[in-house]
Structure 1
Amino acid sequence: MKRLLVLSLLFFIQILFAQNPTQDKVIVSVLTVGTADASHSLYGHTAIRIKDDSRGIDRVYNYGMFDFGTPNFIVRFVKGDMQYFAGAYPYADFEYNYRYENRSIYEQILNLSSENKIALINALESSLTGTEKYYTYKFIQRNCTTKAVDLFNSVLPKETIYKHDVSETTYREILYPYAEHQFFQKLGINIIFGAETDLQATKLFLPFDLKNNLDQTQLNNKPLVLANKTLFEANRVPEKAWWDSIYTLVFFLGLIVALKNKIVTRTYFIVLGILGIFFALVGFYSFHEEIAWNYNVLLFNPVLLLIVYFDWKKNKKLVMWSTYFALVCLVLYTLFMISKIHLGIVWPFIVANGVLLLPFLKASGPPKMER
């Protein structure tokens, strides 16, 4: 029955367009929603709007929908097989939701032919049912923005919408400013992301990146965007807790260093070592390419666990060699990070680790080569 209703709707839409193929009243636009402080709203949102006042149609197609009630939600999200889905609902509900969240809504009305609009609406409606409704979310490769781009490009001449402003900028550098007022969230994002995010950013994957590039896009030698509108301008004051800053991190790491307490230092190394194991293994477990090959294991080094263990066992020789290995990793990491944008937020760990490792080296004495 559901499939029959969808087919009937598609047939009805085509009939309406066929009645007046050159002067239809349908308006197709891209909606860009502003950012917010929560992790799932940190980068904004993209949706597609179909409006025809003469027929009382005003729908939003949303490709960023997911269910928090999904069994093993966190595990599946980390693994990278979380299923997002497409949905459609009245624009009034869409606007109400984002006004309530105090997030800006921007609209770009597109200059499309009647044929393009028919093809687009058919594709939109088709994506609401069957296997096309659900898709496996990927942070860079497949999200609400990339789905919209792919859908438009499927009905327009090949690759009409693409990234115009390609430069040497990496994906990490594009993402970095979005968590400007949430230091620990920014820190968490950047230490879990691996080498993939340091590649040159060639793909449109963020809502505001798409918005900016649409303004540069041409279709049949004419601007694709007919008009830009601000449907709602949020008056946001970034939520910033007094403790959410690099100064808090520096304070606590400085305190750990200043205490010179072996139990505290061991605990610190254990925490970092466990994080390092997680970073090293999650890349093999997860389908998210962004967290694979995470060089931050050189900083959050699992070898720190061996140092603690050998020190507890009073094996000075193995403490010495483990410490030397950890220090070499730390030096290599520091040299590698010189060109990376997130050096500015991980340097307290680099300094703290170096200072805390030296006493283990001194206590074990200089290395002796066996003959």
Structure 2
Amino acid sequence: MIKKVLLLFCFIHFSISYSQQSPISENTKISILTVGLADEVHSLYGHTAIRIRNQDSDFDIVYNYGMFDFRTENFVAKFAKGDLQYYAAAYPYIDFEYSYREDNRSIYEQVLNLSLQEKQTLIDKLNVSLLPENRFYTYKFIDRNCTTKVIDIVNEILENKPITNKNTAKLTYREVLNPYADNHFYEQLGINIIFGKRTDDPATKLFLPLDLLENLKTTTYKNKPLVSETTTVFEANRIAPKPYLDSIYSLIAVLVLFVLLNKKTTNIIYFSILGLIGLLFLFMGIYSFHRELYWNYNILMLNPLLLVLVFFIIQNNTKWIKKISLICILFLASYTFYMLGKVHVLLVLPIIISTFIVLLRLVLKKENLITAHDKTVQY
């Protein structure tokens, strides 16, 4: 934490001082840096930056558009709402490389094949982006992040904006995102159930660092490759985590426990968890500016109506337990039908099955009690 705070002050200092310099010469190299993945949520998808290097003058800095401050007032609330301010900074490349080597994250460099005038224009625009009135921007998960900012500023100085999405355009955003969390089941599950309909749209926008890395390998500009040289600066020695607790098997074990126990208390706990998550997602869909959270059909499974069911279970109101359970089953059936063919259907299938069993058991149990009562009256 202390290291990050010190780096923050260094970034601000170098952003001001370096933006005033012009390192252009025949030996100036401009490259796009791609940083590999890490295990934290905010680093799960990698990172993108721009490097300006001139060996004649030992000028070597990085323009970084992925800066944010954890100490921002109401940081979590602003991030959730979608109005958190990220900012651009310029600082020595050596600090950039050191930081990611320390985090054991791979670093790849792709040198752009630009003319001297294009290099000068790009550097001028990079420096303008560091001005106080320009350096802050509102972060958006897909539409405006460190990668899209780099793409936009590079495309702006090139004819016909050659950097486009060629590799993942036929996939949905959800299909693009899911492989990044393959070894992090609960993060993958959480991301899929909090995201709504927008992430099922075709991934027309290029927005992830490693996808940009792959696209640049085949991008041409003025009948020649846009990238003249690709280098692996640092290859991380990462071992894929295999935690048994962070897997679908642990989820299934917990759900089986709730199903087998079949107690009033466990039903209350189970439905309360699902209902509260659904209520949170409903609130986020209204409160947040993140387009990815709109129209979240996963609420049909994580139904806030389950909280009403909890109320009637506590009250032992047999009539309304049956009615609300049936309504929730209908919602769940609609959700299951809608989910057919969706990339995350297997992730949520254990929840669908367990919820259906517990709800159906409530309905059948009440029906049996009513039948027994009716027979008693007849006799």
Query: Is 1:217 matched with 2:219?
Result: yes
Distance 1:176 1:6 in 2: 38
Query: Residue by residue, what CA displacement relative to the aligned partner does 1:243-292 show, whole Å, maximum 9, x if unpaired?
Result: 11111000010011001111111111011111111111211100111111
Q: Given the alignment, which residue of 311, 316, 319 partners 1:317?
A: 319
Distance 1:226 1:188 in 2: 40
Query: Is 1:267 matched with 2:269?
Result: yes
Deviation, 1:200, is 0.3
Runs of 4+ in 1 over 3 A off after TM superposition: 5-10
Say which SS state the counterpart of residue 345 (structure 1) adopts.
helix
Deviation, 1:7, is 10
Deviation, 1:365, is 2.4
Q: Which residue of 1 aligns with 2:124?
A: 122
Q: Which residue of 2 aligns with 1:362?
A: 364
Query: Is 1:291 matched with 2:293?
Result: yes
Distance 1:173 1:8 in 2: 40
- The answer as to whether partners of 1:269 and 1:304 remain within 8 angstroms in 2 is yes
TM-score, scaled to structure 1: 0.92
- The answer as to whether partners of 1:256 and 1:265 remain within 8 angstroms in 2 is yes
Q: Which residue of 1 aligns with 2:7?
A: none
Distance 1:29 1:281 in 2: 42
Q: Which residue of 1 aligns with 2:193?
A: 191
Cα gap change, 1:131 to 1:186, in 2 (>3 Å): same
Deviation, 1:240, is 3.5
Cα gap change, 1:310 to 1:8, in 2 (>3 Å): closer
How is 1:99-138 mapped onto 2 (pairs within 5 angstroms)? 99-138=101-140
Say which SS state the counterpart of residue 133 (structure 2) adopts.
helix
Q: Which residue of 2 aligns with 1:208?
A: 210
Query: Is 1:82 matched with 2:81?
Result: no
Query: Residue by residue, what CA displacement relative to the aligned partner does 1:142-195 show, whole Å, maximum 9, x if unpaired?
Result: 000000001011111132211123543100001001111111111111111111
Deviation, 1:102, is 0.5
Query: Residue by residue, what CA displacement relative to the aligned partner does 1:83-106 show, whole Å, maximum 9, x if unpaired?
Result: 000011111111101110011100
- The answer as to whether partners of 1:37 and 1:238 remain within 8 angstroms in 2 is no
Distance 1:314 1:161 in 2: 62
- The answer as to whether partners of 1:32 and 1:208 remain within 8 angstroms in 2 is yes
TM-score, scaled to structure 2: 0.90
Q: Which residue of 1 aligns with 2:155?
A: 153
Distance 1:231 1:62 in 2: 17
Distance 2:115 2:210 in 1: 25
- The residue identity in structure 1 corresponding to 2:296 is N
Q: Percent identity over the alignment?
A: 48
Larger deviation, residues 123-132 vs 157-166: 157-166
Question: Alignment length, in residue pairs?
Answer: 357
- The answer as to whether partners of 2:18 and 2:91 remain within 8 angstroms in 1 is no
- The residue identity in structure 2 corresponding to 1:80 is G
Q: Given the alignment, which residue of 309, 330, 348 partners 1:307?
A: 309
- The answer as to whether partners of 1:37 and 1:239 remain within 8 angstroms in 2 is no
Q: Given the alignment, which residue of 243, 246, 261 partners 1:244?
A: 246
Structure 1: tracts of 5 or more residues without a match: none
Q: Which residue of 1 aligns with 2:353?
A: 351
| Superposed CA RMSD | 2.0
Distance 2:27 2:299 in 1: 57
Query: Is 1:62 matched with 2:64?
Result: yes
Deviation, 1:302, is 0.9
Q: Given the alignment, which residue of 322, 340, 343 partners 1:341?
A: 343
Q: Given the alignment, which residue of 21, 24, 27 partners 2:29?
A: 27
